[in-house]
Amino acid sequence: MDFSIKTFDGKNAIAQLKGGCIAVGIFEDRKLSEHALALDLDHVISNAVKSGDITGKAGTTLLLRNTGGRADRILLVGLGRQGEVSSKDFNSAAQAIARSFQTLGSSDAIVALPLDDVKDRDATWCLRSVVIALRDSVYRFDQLKSRKDSAANGVRKVAFAVPATASATAKTAVTQAAAIADGMDLTKTLGNLPANVCTPTYLATTARELGSEFGMAVEVLDRKQIQALKMGSFLSVTSGTQEPPKFIVLRHMGGKPKDAPVVLVGKGITFDTGGISLKPGANMDEMKYDMCGAGSVLGTMRAVGRMKLKLNVIAVIPSCENMPSGTATRPGDIVTSMSGQTIEILNTDAEGRLILCDALTYAERFNPAAVVDVATLTGACITALGHHNSGLFTRHDEAHDALAAELIAAGKATGDTAWRLPIEDSYQEQLKSNFADMANIGGPPAGSITAACFLERYTRKYTWAHLDIAGTAWKNGAAKGATGRPVPLLTTFLINRAGK
């Protein structure tokens, strides 16, 4: 889907824009938006509203034809109450436009919504919301079907009508939104691929393709190189599988050579059986999504590459399977991490933290400005936050509070929200071991917090945050599939950093 900007000057100039369809907003109480008023030739729109064919309720639509204007069709879109349009209302409208555009007999359309009428939001947010809704509506995952899903013939070119004075800002917003959508598409596809296709080697190949496309440096370490780095914790997870592990490093050096990079660390467990601590069979197929941390980091790097972001960003992805076998790590085994700290593995299904801790130690060599790790880490986070917010964890001091605020703001700006949970020394007590420096689990209470506390022990040489995306990375049930989160949050966080 292609996106562009169409500018107009003057109140009635919107009526001069030509296209297969033009979408305009209608408020409740039969009130027309400014663009709807300008297009209301012969009272076609106002008569439709007065008749009750559309109420203006957020997300409702009505398609009008033969309206006497230069556009072949006008799509009326409900926005809710004028002056009280919420983010939720606008998103409902954006999704309604996306659904309608899928079935139109036109390949091009114009979106002319009141971008300054949404409470606590600006035009950039509105444009991003519509772009992502449109791109999500045309995303398909059917490459493994012998008969492909029927492709909709609808709109493929969308222009946004904005005043000439706002053209530059709108172009930037649409470019960034399209890049985020590109990243989300990659993340969704990687998550949706089965584990017999999306292996650690496949993730490494994807990283190499990104490197080739965007001029990023790529390094992929194999088992022998991982052993040479003494990543005993990472290797303990892969000891039961025949699929070779990969340790992937992808560098986008868009900033100044001496600028400290932001490092994104993504959990890349391409299938998680739980190992010897075997998971129940029901819904185990969803454990192909246990690499969504890695997928979201790769998706973010794709967005960064598309935008040619002027920032140094490094992706670090430890990737392997977690399988049971005669060589698999056993509960009670003790391993030595790259940092030299020893870990008593009480549950082999708490494996994500075991691969991440060595990756977080490896990240020290980059002298990072900040490190953010992303992982489908704990079911406890779903219990705490459901499927709306990702869990955010950092230490509690000035530098980490500032990093947390950046991430939370980026989440709010995109609707890809995160909620901060505590890390305190009292929770660290739950990780005590009689036989090693720490245990890899802290028991059922506060499971997502103790998992973050485990990771925190490997991050004390830099500013760090942890995102637990177990509840937000994918949907189950009839809508089963990867969501592409938290690519919007991460990409916007990096955009904001680049703009400082």
- The span from the CA of 225 to the CA of 292, in Å, is 24
Examine the residue annotation and report whether 353 is marked as an active-site residue of this protein: yes
Burial class for 9, CB neighbours closer than 10 Å (0-12, 13-18, 19+): exposed
Per the CB < 8 A criterion, the answer to whether 217 and 211 are in contact is yes
452: left (phi over 0), alpha (psi -120 to 50) or beta: alpha
- The span from the CA of 445 to the CA of 467, in Å, is 19
User: Whose CA is closest to 90, among 27, 7, 35, 32?
Assistant: 27
| Strand 334-336 to 22-27 pairing | unpaired
Which residues neighbour 204 within 8 Å (Cβ) at sequence distance 6 or greater?
A: 220, 246, 248, 319
User: Whose CA is closest to 176, among 131, 116, 234, 225?
Assistant: 131
Per the CB < 8 A criterion, the answer to whether 338 and 361 are in contact is yes
User: Which residues share a beta bridge with 274?
Assistant: none
Query: Which residue in the list 6, 121, 251, 353 is annotated as catalytic?
Result: 353
User: Which residues share a beta bridge with 438?
Assistant: 343
Element housing 252 (H / E) = strand 246-253
Dihedral sign (CA 264, 245, 233, 278) = positive
Examine the residue annotation and report whether 65 is marked as an active-site residue of this protein: no
Query: Which residue in the list 208, 279, 330, 412 is annotated as catalytic?
Result: 279
Whether residue 486 has a cis bond before it, omega within 30° of 0:
yes
| Strand 217-221 to 464-468 pairing | unpaired
At CA 310, angle to CA 120 and CA 208, rounded to 5?
Answer: 110
What's the CA dihedral at 167, 172, 175, 177 to 10 degrees? -110
- Burial of 160-177, coded b for 16+ CB within 10 Å and e otherwise, reads bbbbeebeeebbebbebb
Residues identified as active-site = 279, 353
